[in-house]
Amino acid sequence: MSNGTADKAGYEPRVALEFFKSAGAPEKFAEGETIFSEKDRRRSRIYLVLNGEVALSARKKALSSVKAGGIFGELAAITGAPRSASATAKTACRVISLDDKAFQSALRKKPAFALMLMSVMIARLRAAIAELGAAGELGEAAMLKEASAFDPKHVPALVSGLSDEPVVYYDRNKTILEAGQSGLRMYIVTEGRVLVKIGERTVERLGPGGVFGEAALVDKTPRLASAVAETDCALLPVTRNGFVGLVKMSPGFAEKMLASLAERLRFLTSKLQ
């Protein structure tokens, strides 16, 4: 990741290397050569450094560097958003990159990478939320107006395709889960809308196709946030075993979950800049 992923808790360079090698090939960059530029809107690639060092910068300001074993460019690649930083070979280096098709192919072969990357993203989400909260900036300006991991048109198929658990229903204003609780299930909104709150502040609004509660399933830590039914709503619960099984069996599911986490992280990170 952009801030020295190889040093992040939960990140396993061996798992990342196996993932990239399963679908990509090495390429070389000379010292000073641009790998990609800030605000590049072309379909993005995700990179792993084999050797050497890559410098990341934004608005001509140095951000960090990525050394052997680390990955970078993942947020833009997964969300499809423009690049938020530039990457330049700080030294002569070798990297492996994956485009979207190669990334999907690698997920089919090495699903453990998806779970690892989710865990690292969630750790970064926790850090971003803590920093925004400490700065008093975790309010309406830091809220995703409405988010959905799955296309609402496909939500009816989720009920029979993703979980053996029955749909559950909550009345308007009812609390669904609370921050600090142990996470036994994540939820997919099938009808209605849900507000995700940190303290008394709403940080996300979820409509049909929206997902919440997955962070506690991935890293087995207490809930990041509370969730309240904004309207009467119907939710599809997914247990941890079901979640892990889906990630391993369905690259499409894993990619959508990564995209959902990456979009939240990209959005919150932009509020810190």
**Residue closest to 2 by CA, chosen among 68, 91, 64, 84:** 64
**205 close to 147: Cβ distance less than 8 angstroms:** yes
| pLDDT for 5 | 56
- Indicate whether this model's pTM tops 0.95: no
**Residue closest to 114 by CA, chosen among 191, 201, 218:** 218
Bridge-based pairing state of the strands 201-206 and 144-147 = parallel
Taking the C-alpha atoms of residue 249 and residue 197, their distance in angstroms, rounded to an integer, is 31
pLDDT tens-digit map of 85-132: 899 999 999 999 999 889 888 988 898 899 899 888 888 887 877 777
pLDDT tens-digit map of 15-69: 999 999 999 999 999 999 999 998 887 667 999 999 999 999 988 899 889 999 9
**Phi (first) and psi of residue 176, to 5 degrees:** -95, -45
> Does residue 141 surpass a pLDDT of 60?
no
Give the residue extent of every domain in the chain: 5-109, 131-272
- Rounded-to-10 torsion of CA 4, 14, 253, 182: -70
CATH match of 131-272 with 2.60.120.10:
yes
131-272 and 5-109 share a CATH fold: yes
Taking the C-alpha atoms of residue 144 and residue 267, their distance in angstroms, rounded to an integer, is 8
The DSSP code for 220 is: -
Sequence-ordered list of residues with C-beta below 8 angstroms from that of 232, at least 6 positions apart, any chain: 169, 170, 171, 172, 191, 192
Pick the CATH number of 5-109 from 1.10.1740.10, 2.60.40.10, 2.60.120.10, 3.40.50.150: 2.60.120.10
